[in-house]
Chain A
Amino acid sequence: MERGSREYALWSIGLLLVLLFALIPVLWIISLSLKTPATITEGTSFWDRFIPQDVTFDNYTTLFEGGLDDSPFIAPLINSILIALITTVIAIVLAAFAAYAIARLDFPGKALILAGALAIAMFPAISTVGPLFDMWRALGLYDTYPGLIIPYLTFSLPLAIYTLVAFFREIPWDLEYAAAVDGATPFQAFRKVIVPLAAPGVFTAAILVFIFAWNDFLFAISLTSSDASRTVPAALAFFTGESQFTQPTGNIAAAAVIVTVPIIIFVLFFQRRIVAGLTAGAVKG
Chain B
Amino acid sequence: MAEIVLDGVSKRFPDGFEAVKDMDLEINDGEFMILVGPSGCGKSTALRMIAGLEDITEGELRIGDRVVNELAPKDRDIAMVFQNYALYPHMTVRENMAFPLKLADVPKEETDRKVEEAARILDLQQHLDRRPANLSGGQRQRVAMGRAIVRDPSAFLMDEPLSNLDAKLRVQMRTEVARIQSNLGTTTVYVTHDQTEAMTLGDRVAVMRTGVLQQVGSPGELYSDPANLFVAGFIGSPAMNFMPARIESGRVKLPIGDLPVPSGAGATDGGAVIAGIRPESFEDASLVGPDVRSRGSTFRTKIDLVESMGSENYAYFQVESEGMQSQQLDELAQDAGTAEVPSSGEGQVVARLDATSQIQRGDETELWVDATKLHLFDPQSGQSLGAARQPVAAGAA
* Chain A residues at the B interface, C-beta cutoff of 8 Å: 172, 174-175, 177-185, 188, 192-193, 196-197, 277-284
For residue B33, CB closer than 8 A to chain A, the reply is: no
Q: Decide if A175 touches B88 in the complex (CB within 8 Å).
A: yes
For residue B120, CB closer than 8 A to chain A, the reply is: no
Q: How far is the CB of B297 from chain A (nearest CB, A)?
A: 51
Q: Decide if B53 touches A180 in the complex (CB within 8 Å).
A: yes
For residue B89, CB closer than 8 A to chain A, the reply is: yes
- Please pick, from B73, B88, B157, the residue contacting A180 in the complex, using a CB distance under 8 A: B73
Taken together as a complex, chains A and B put the C-alpha atoms of A172 and B86 apart, in Å, by 8
For residue B178, CB closer than 8 A to chain A, the reply is: no
Q: Decide if B140 touches A284 in the complex (CB within 8 Å).
A: yes
Residues of B within 8 Å of A196, CB to CB, are 90
Q: How far is the CB of B341 from chain A (nearest CB, A)?
A: 31
Q: How far is the CB of A112 from chain B (nearest CB, A)?
A: 19
Taken together as a complex, chains A and B put the C-alpha atoms of A188 and B131 apart, in Å, by 21
Taken together as a complex, chains A and B put the C-alpha atoms of A50 and B80 apart, in Å, by 67
Give chain B interface residues in 327-350, CB to chain A under 8 Å. none
- Please pick, from A177, A180, A182, A278, the residue contacting B89 in the complex, using a CB distance under 8 A: A278
For residue B255, CB closer than 8 A to chain A, the reply is: no
Taken together as a complex, chains A and B put the C-alpha atoms of A174 and B52 apart, in Å, by 13
Taken together as a complex, chains A and B put the C-alpha atoms of A175 and B89 apart, in Å, by 9
Taken together as a complex, chains A and B put the C-alpha atoms of A208 and B115 apart, in Å, by 41
Residues of B within 8 Å of A172, CB to CB, are 84, 86
Taken together as a complex, chains A and B put the C-alpha atoms of A283 and B52 apart, in Å, by 21
Give chain B interface residues in 145-194, CB to chain A under 8 Å. 147, 151, 157, 164
For residue B132, CB closer than 8 A to chain A, the reply is: yes
Residues of B within 8 Å of A280, CB to CB, are 89, 133
Q: How far is the CB of A193 from chain B (nearest CB, A)?
A: 6
Given contacts A197-B90, A281-B89, contact A178 B82 (CB under 8 A): yes
Residues of B within 8 Å of A180, CB to CB, are 52-53, 72-74
- Please pick, from B73, B82, B89, B164, the residue contacting A174 in the complex, using a CB distance under 8 A: B82
Q: Decide if A183 touches B100 in the complex (CB within 8 Å).
A: yes
Q: Decide if B80 touches A178 in the complex (CB within 8 Å).
A: yes
Give chain B interface residues in 69-94, CB to chain A under 8 Å. 72-74, 76, 78-80, 82-90
Q: Decide if A175 touches B132 in the complex (CB within 8 Å).
A: no
For residue B135, CB closer than 8 A to chain A, the reply is: yes
For residue B394, CB closer than 8 A to chain A, the reply is: no
Ranked 4 nearest A-B pairs via Cβ: A281-B133, A283-B84, A281-B132, A178-B86
**22 contacting pairs across A/B (C-beta < 8 A):** A174-B84, A177-B51, A177-B53, A177-B80, A178-B82, A179-B88, A180-B52, A180-B74, A181-B51, A182-B147, A182-B151, A183-B74, A183-B104, A192-B99, A197-B90, A278-B90, A281-B131, A281-B132, A281-B134, A282-B89, A283-B86, A284-B164
| Other contacts beyond A181-B52, A192-B99, A282-B87: 12, CB < 8 A | A174-B83, A175-B88, A177-B73, A180-B52, A181-B51, A182-B99, A183-B74, A183-B151, A196-B90, A278-B90, A280-B89, A281-B132
Residues of A within 8 Å of B72, CB to CB, are 180, 185
Q: How far is the CB of B323 from chain A (nearest CB, A)?
A: 46
